[in-house]
Amino acid sequence: MTITLTNSKYSAKINSHGAELFSFKAFQNDQEYIWDGNPDYWAKHAPILFPIVGTLKNNTYYHNEKEYHLLRHGFARDMNFEVAHCSKTKVIFILKSNDETRNRYPFDFELQLMYTLIENKILLSYQVINCDSQSIPFSIGAHPAFALNVPFENYSLAFNRQETLACSILENDLISNRSLEIELQNKILPLHYSLFENDALVFKTIHSREITILKENYPYVRITFEDFNNLGVWTKVSAPFICVEPWLGYADSVDATGNLFEKEGILILNKNETFEAQFSIEIL
């Protein structure tokens, strides 16, 4: 099912499969800002990452001496969500634990995603409810891909703080013990494909909470993520998109124990508690 949110100048479309945003469009210039999912490069648009972000070591973890398997970024992006509320500018999707999820993640939860269209901005609010009798471990994140319509090197990322970024180097999709420092140039990171020859840029620590994609030095799209401590930036070499990904959590380290409760960056939600976070995408 496709849900369309509209106001006088913008529209957003979300698929109930994966609760995935696949269109954010300005009427004035008929411009699409979300990647179209061309499978020649990457068939997704803006998947939801839950209950893990990134890859587990051997795609495996253990709980109560039982082995479980979760593929990269978890299962939420491949599940059908229920539409709990829908209006012209707001929709709420719900995914509840079931027999299928328990086979891979033995915890009872309710995941709510609310999209709200506010003028030129789409606000995505996350809510995780612990419905279990015990604490539950989880990570959550976003993976929006933004369509680029001029050469890739004509784009850059403007951070809202001047900082030296510590980029964790991936090794077989896992966080290695090595890192690379990236010094921003007046808060700017120029984009070039060589940055992504080893897959995503993963920042376990980041001080900025706002990134503006610049197109030929002019503001294009702004991503604001006050509630998120971690960040991924990714594209495929030669692909006409860039992903700016607010995360709470990241891939296993190469020496991970397999205990999800001990996983670096994991969130622990106590029974009867609710987790909330949000971020926004703004067309400029």
* Domains, the chain, ordered by start: 2-283 (2.70.98.10)
Q: Are 155 and 136 in contact (CB under 8 A)?
A: no
Q: Among residues of the chain, what percentage have pLDDT more than 70?
A: 100
Backbone angles phi, psi at 78, to 5 degrees: -110, 10
Q: What is the per-residue pLDDT for 255? A: 93
Question: For residue 128, what are its two tokens?
Answer: 């995780």
In angstroms, the CA 90 to CA 190 distance is: 35
For the chain, the straight-line distance linking the first and the last C-alpha, in angstroms and rounded, comes to: 29
Q: What is the per-residue pLDDT for 29? A: 87
Q: What is the per-residue pLDDT for 52? A: 97
Q: Which of 82, 127, 79, 137 is nearest to 107 (CA)?
A: 137
In angstroms, the CA 16 to CA 13 distance is: 10
User: For 57-80, how does the pLDDT look when each residue is reduced to its tens digit (9 = 90+)?
Assistant: 999 999 998 999 999 999 999 999
pLDDT band for position 205 (cuts 50, 70, 90): very high
